[in-house]
Amino acid sequence: MSEQNSEKKERRQSPTRIVIYNFISFIVFLIILGFLNISLDFFDNNILSQVVRLLNNNIWLIFIFSVIFTIGEVFGSFKFPGNLPAPIFNAIGSIFLLNFLFKIFNLVGKLSDIDTFQSIGNVFPFLYPIIFLLVLLGGYISILSGASWEAPKKKTASRKTKPKEEISWDDVGNEFKDMLYDAFHSARESIKKNKK
Question: pLDDT tens for residues 120-168?
Answer: 667 767 888 899 999 999 999 988 887 644 444 555 444 444 454 454 5
Predicted confidence at residue 158, as pLDDT, reads 45
- Within 8 A by CB and 6+ apart from 192, the residues are none
Question: Once rounded to an integer, what is the mean pLDDT over residues 173-187?
Answer: 57
Helix%, strand%, coil% for the chain, nearest 5: 75, 0, 25
The chain-wide mean pLDDT, for the chain, equals 76
Question: For residue 149, what pLDDT is reported?
Answer: 43
pLDDT at 59: 93
Nearest-CA neighbor of 82 among 146, 169, 21? Answer: 169
Q: Which of 68, 69, 56, 47 is nearest to 29 (CA)?
A: 56
Residue type, 159: R
Q: CA 187 to CA 126: how far, in whole Å? A: 39
- Residues 106-127 have a mean pLDDT of 74
Of 107, 135, 108, 106, nearest to 123 by C-alpha is 106
pTM of the predicted model, to two decimals?
A: 0.64
- 76 neighbors 146 (Cβ within 8 angstroms): no
In the structure, what pLDDT confidence band is assigned to residue 23 with cuts at 50, 70 and 90? very high
What is d(CA 123, CA 112) in angstroms, rounded to the nearest whole number?
18
Give 188's pLDDT tier (boundaries 50, 70, 90). Answer: low
Share of the chain above pLDDT 70, in %: 63
pLDDT of residue 11: 56
Average pLDDT on 93-122 reads 81
Q: What is the pLDDT of residue 144?
A: 86
